[in-house]
Amino acid sequence: MLLTGAEILIKSLLDENVETIFGYPGGAVLNIYDELYKYKDKIHHVLTCHEQGAAHAADGYARATGKVGVCLATSGPGATNLVTGIATAYMDSVPMVAITGNVATSLLGKDSFQEVDITGITMPITKHNYIVRDVNDLQNIIKDAFYIAQEGRPGPVLIDIPKDVTANKAEYTKLIPKEITRSSKYITEKSLQKAIELINQSERPFIYAGGGIGISGATQELIDFAEKINAPVSTSLMCMAAFPNDHELYTGMIGMHGTKASNIAATKCDLLITLGARFSDRVISHQNHIKNARILQIDVDCAEINKNVKVDSSIVGDLKIVLDKLLPLISRKNNDEWLGKINNLKENKKVLINDTTTPELLFDKLNSLNDGSFVISTEVGQHQMWAAQHFKFRNERTFITSGGLGTMGYGLGAAIGAQTGRKDRRVFNIAGDGSFGMNCNEFVTAVKNNLPIIQIVMNNNCLGMVRQWQSLFYEQRYSETTLDRPTDYVKLAEAFGGKAFRITKPEEIDEVLEKALDSQGPVLIDYLINNDKKVFPMVAPGAPINEIINEEDIKNN
């Protein structure tokens, strides 16, 4: 069957079971959009306000559904506007295919109108990328791109298609997508036996679980593993929803804003079992801080072994497979004394102060309303840490946040993608007023598509996290972090066509949340908090992770 490149692209996307694309049209992709028009009953296109929003939406869609997210943009600035979203997906191992148009092949390299070398620009932030110079190569490239995006450690792949390639014709024959198999070829008997030996010999094992648990879908395997060896479990930011937060072995998040129990346990254990985590500087700070423990690292990506921290033993492979292999071979352990010490470090539920609006009070209310179906997306900053610390996650793929890149402006686009892919769940995007200002235009995308997202703006009139650092480490020199913006977020949301409420006192929370949850479309809640409110506990940059600063320390200087 002889088809144009644009037709081949759309049919190939359908072959890959793509149902949704997030994008923004332009001259170089007109042929593609013309074909999308013909297939609009089969592929739902979500028009965002900005290409960066499209990339974040594809990312959020992938995280919430486990499918490949797809975004589409035109050449030049359209393509470069995807870059931050691609980098965000790359840092957090999100399967995504970004499709860009480009000028005709005869105009490449001539500084033509709206021409950029997007494959050169994105080479460091993609698993692989392509420029399609021959329409005869297009179908196989698309097939390979979807395979690469999903196999092993997932990540974004970019396909750049010059305009003449979308118009030229080639033979198309339906191709079956490449089967994705779990990575196991590097799992050796020797590495398994060494791990078993370390686990069985340990008296104070401690588990540091990362984003790889959720990517692998290994939540149940992690629970079974932790329960068999009776080991406390901490999670990185990327693993918050991949281990039930109410489990008796859970010690909370680890790292700069981690719990006392997690951070101290990491320095007191005799075996640190690291699962699908990369020893980020925001988690471990420095290898010397965990020098008392042997380290077992299990990861699907061999490049992560010994990259940031020297380990004593490692297994390279898919976590679900590795844990399945280890479970019947390890000894059941007691560790009562060790668990007792860790449990003593767990903080009891704090008495909430009800005379002012605080993050803790808001999340306490959200927890009481959550039936397990809430999805929380966030921007980046204090509100992100408060969500991780205080919301009680029960199910995997319900926490969507930018971990590795820390992208302000990520959350609302990601919420749009998540809500589009998971219509059976209710998505909340938690933002600070600083982050919300970066992507508030996408609220109208939610309105147009009637997505029942609840956008909460934790409004403290400042760039809260940067201000917190200025307060603690820069002698309160608040350089350019006080916003002093006269924006009325309620009126802004209403101008975009959505509903909006403002909360200024605790007694308003219940009624507003009830109204928001009853709404069939998007809602914004302007939630006012004090600009001196800080995220605690905290570890100073470069300090050992057991040197924890809390609110009392600040009061006592």
Q: What is the pLDDT of residues 8-59, one digit of tens each?
A: 999 999 999 999 999 999 999 999 999 999 999 999 999 999 999 999 999 9
Q: Give the whole-number percent of the chain exceeding pLDDT 90.
A: 92
354 has pLDDT over 90: no
The rounded distance, in Å, linking the Cα atoms of 206 and 225 is: 12
3-state secondary structure 446-484: HHHCCCCCEEEEEECCECHHHHHHHHHHCCCCCCCCECC
pLDDT band at residue 289 using 50, 70 and 90 as cut-offs = low
The rounded distance, in Å, linking the Cα atoms of 83 and 129 is: 13
Rounded mean pLDDT of the chain?
A: 95
350 has pLDDT over 70: no
pLDDT band at residue 555 using 50, 70 and 90 as cut-offs = confident
H or E element: which one contains 96? Answer: strand 96-102
More confident residue, 349 or 516: 516
Mean pLDDT along residues 296-311: 95
Classify residue 480 as left (phi > 0), alpha (psi -120 to 50) or beta.
left
Mean pLDDT along residues 123-144: 98
Mean pLDDT along residues 228-255: 96
For residues 413-439, one letter each, b for 16 or more C-beta atoms within 10 angstroms of the residue's C-beta and e for the rest, the string is bbbbbbbbbbeebbbbbbbbbbbbbbb
pLDDT for the residue numbered 556: 76
CA nearest 529: which of 505, 547, 549? 505
The domains found in the chain, sorted by start residue, are 2-168 (3.40.50.970), 189-345 (3.40.50.1220), 359-541 (3.40.50.970)
Least confident of 260-264, 284-288, 506-510: 284-288
| 516's tokens | 């928001």
Mean pLDDT along residues 140-168: 98
pLDDT in tens, 462-477: 999 999 999 999 999 9
The rounded distance, in Å, linking the Cα atoms of 58 and 417 is: 6
| 556's tokens | 């006592």
Taking each helix axis as running N to C, give the angle between helix 5-15 and helix 135-150, from 0 to 180 degrees, rounded to the nearest 10. Answer: 30
The rounded distance, in Å, linking the Cα atoms of 317 and 391 is: 31
pLDDT band at residue 311 using 50, 70 and 90 as cut-offs = very high
Query: Alpha helix locations (H) across 102-252?
Result: 118-122, 135-150, 163-167, 189-201, 212-216, 219-229
194 close to 169: Cβ distance less than 8 angstroms: no
| 305's tokens | 């072994």
Positions annotated as catalytic residues are 51, 113-114, 163, 465
Query: CB under 8 Å to 14, separation ≥6 — which residues?
Result: 39, 42, 43
The rounded distance, in Å, linking the Cα atoms of 519 and 515 is: 6
Beta carbons within 10 angstroms of residue 55's beta carbon: 33
The rounded distance, in Å, linking the Cα atoms of 109 and 120 is: 12
147 has pLDDT over 70: yes
Mean pLDDT along residues 368-394: 96
Max Cα separation, the chain?
A: 77
Report helix, strand or coil for 543: coil
235 has pLDDT over 70: yes
| 469's tokens | 């650092």
pLDDT for the residue numbered 557: 67
108 close to 115: Cβ distance less than 8 angstroms: yes
The conformation of residue 351, written as its DSSP 8-state character, comes to P
What's the gap between Cα 426 and its chain centre? 17
Mean pLDDT along residues 371-394: 96
For residues 197-233, one letter each, b for 16 or more C-beta atoms within 10 angstroms of the residue's C-beta and e for the rest, the string is ebbeebebbbbbbbbbbbbbbbbebbbebbebbebbb
Least confident of 28-32, 107-111, 166-170, 522-526: 107-111
pLDDT band at residue 201 using 50, 70 and 90 as cut-offs = very high
pLDDT for the residue numbered 287: 66
302 close to 316: Cβ distance less than 8 angstroms: yes
| 160's tokens | 């750049």
What's the gap between Cα 158 and its chain centre? 19
Mean pLDDT along residues 98-108: 96
pLDDT band at residue 355 using 50, 70 and 90 as cut-offs = confident
pLDDT band at residue 285 using 50, 70 and 90 as cut-offs = confident
Q: Which amino acid is residue 437, in one-letter code?
A: G
351 has pLDDT over 80: no
